[in-house]
Amino acid sequence: MKKLSPLIILLLTGCTFLHQDFDKYDKNYNEIQLQSITIGDNKKQVEDSLGNPANVIGSKSFEHGTIEVWSYEKWHANLGMDNLEQVYWLYFLDDILMQWGRPGDWRREADRIYELRVR
């Protein structure tokens, strides 16, 4: 039994080191704190609350403004390949947050946001 104890300690400390190593990856393993943002926040306020986006999904310029879409992701760590658990897209019109949701919640949304704003 005495020989087994160092092996267990080694395994447990190895798991701790693996867990602490996640912050070295370029992925988010924490919950996306969407409750900390509100419609009408500017990009800086959103970045201060959520951090840098994982991606800028796209941008479209119109005569009277620009739509930009940011992506935030939450990953789940596994041995081997990690899994993408959640993705949210944030829609900005002229640097102001207009709406957010999961990809596919709104079809052709950039055009629709612009049409509502111009009318």
Which CATH entry fits the domain spanning 28-118: 3.40.50.720, 3.40.50.2000, 3.30.200.20, 3.30.1450.10?
A: 3.30.1450.10
* Structural domain boundaries in the chain: 28-118
pLDDT for 88 beyond 80: yes
Q: Is the pTM above the cut of 0.95?
A: no
CB 67 within 8 A of CB 59: yes
More confident residue, 5 or 33: 33
The DSSP secondary structure of 15-50, one letter per residue, reads: HHHHHHGGGGSSS--SPP-GGG--TT-BHHHHHHHH
More confident residue, 9 or 75: 75
Question: Which pLDDT tens digit goes with each residue over 76-87?
Answer: 887 778 888 899
